[in-house]
């Protein structure tokens, strides 16, 4: 494309700039030459680390500050020989920030050793105040659901949560919080020793099955911690979405049938 500038004139202008010492193109942004010169001098003054000799063992990388919360939780959980000892270990675990904002540790409720163990997500306001899982409106709905198939927490069900402390403002638990409390949950299941697990909500499915998507997972048996697992909608979700109660009822009938099949 013709720019309209005479070539001979442009070449003469360029030669004139070169004679004046302008031998670099001008950028769109200003360059602080003094700052560049200072940076170059600082780089030259910085001592150069000697290169390791061929075959020499490289220096070990610095270890991260502080212990790994997951490893600490694993050791503490492994050392708990009873539910009482496990509760004490969880109360002594200081790596989860949720503990600092919660009123109470919410450990469990119901009958340890019951055939059915329900795993919820995290305590809400009422659970935090009373120190028991599923005691708010969602818990009242859960009790009615269980009663519909002849179960109750007073005689035939044991209940706990993935997290024992309430997240602030009932926010969703973070992955690191789930990871550091998972060893305690696994030990809790082993000590309670149910025949099967009912996991309610996405967080519970994530912790025990490593998957989310409760609308697809619900009603389909899986396995975790060496036991059959039935994912179900969380009662809190059913309070927000009453139309899903029909699917929840189908899942309850599936749970009842499985218990009868196990004898």
Query: What CATH number is given to the structural domain containing 239?
Result: 3.40.470.10
Structural domain includes residue 123: yes
Summarised one tens digit per residue, pLDDT across range 22-46 is 555 555 556 566 665 666 666 666 6
Summarised one tens digit per residue, pLDDT across range 127-156 is 999 999 999 999 999 999 999 999 999 999
Q: What is the tally of structural domains in the chain? A: 1
Summarised one tens digit per residue, pLDDT across range 51-106 is 656 666 666 655 556 899 999 999 999 999 999 999 999 999 999 999 999 999 99
Q: Which pLDDT score is estimated for 160?
A: 98
Distances in Å between the Cα of 16 and the Cα atoms of 10, 24, 125 are 10, 13, 80
Structural domain includes residue 179: yes
Structural domain includes residue 62: no
Summarised one tens digit per residue, pLDDT across range 181-219 is 999 999 999 999 999 999 999 999 999 999 999 999 999
Domain that holds residue 114: 69-262
Average confidence (pLDDT) over 159-173 = 96
Structural domain includes residue 33: no
The mean predicted confidence, pLDDT, of the chain is: 88
Distances in Å between the Cα of 28 and the Cα atoms of 20, 25, 34, 127, 191 are 21, 10, 18, 62, 70
Structural domain includes residue 21: no
Per-residue confidence at 177, pLDDT binned at 50, 70, 90?
Answer: very high
Structural domain includes residue 141: yes
């Amino acid at each position: 494309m013709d720019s309209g500038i005479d070539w001979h004139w442009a070449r003469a202008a360029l030669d004139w700039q070169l004679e004046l010492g302008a031998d670099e193109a001008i950028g769109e942004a200003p360059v602080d030459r003094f700052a560049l010169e200072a940076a170059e001098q600082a780089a030259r003054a910085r001592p150069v680390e000697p290169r390791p000799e061929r075959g020499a063992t490289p220096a070990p990388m610095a270890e991260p500050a502080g212990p790994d919360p997951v490893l600490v939780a694993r050791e503490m959980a492994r050392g708990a020989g009873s539910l009482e000892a496990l509760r004490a270990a969880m109360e002594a675990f200081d790596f989860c920030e949720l503990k600092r904002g919660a009123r109470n540790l919410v450990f469990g409720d119901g009958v340890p050793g019951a055939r059915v163990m329900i795993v919820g997500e995290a305590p809400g306001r009422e659970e935090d105040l009373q120190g028991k899982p599923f005691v708010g409106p969602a818990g009242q709905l859960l009790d009615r659901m269980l009663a519909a198939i002849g179960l109750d927490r007073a005689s035939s069900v044991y209940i706990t949560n993935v997290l024992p402390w309430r997240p602030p403002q009932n926010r969703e638990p973070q992955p690191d919080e789930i990871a550091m409390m998972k060893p305690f949950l696994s030990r809790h299941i082993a000590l309670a020793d149910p025949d099967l697990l009912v996991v309610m909500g996405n967080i519970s499915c994530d912790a025990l099955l490593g998957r989310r998507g409760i609308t697809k997972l619900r009603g389909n048996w899986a396995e975790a911690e060496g036991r059959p697992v039935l994912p179900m909608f969380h009662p809190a979700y059913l309070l927000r979405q009453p139309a899903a109660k029909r699917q929840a009822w189908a899942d309850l009938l599936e749970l009842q049938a499985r218990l009868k099949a196990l004898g």
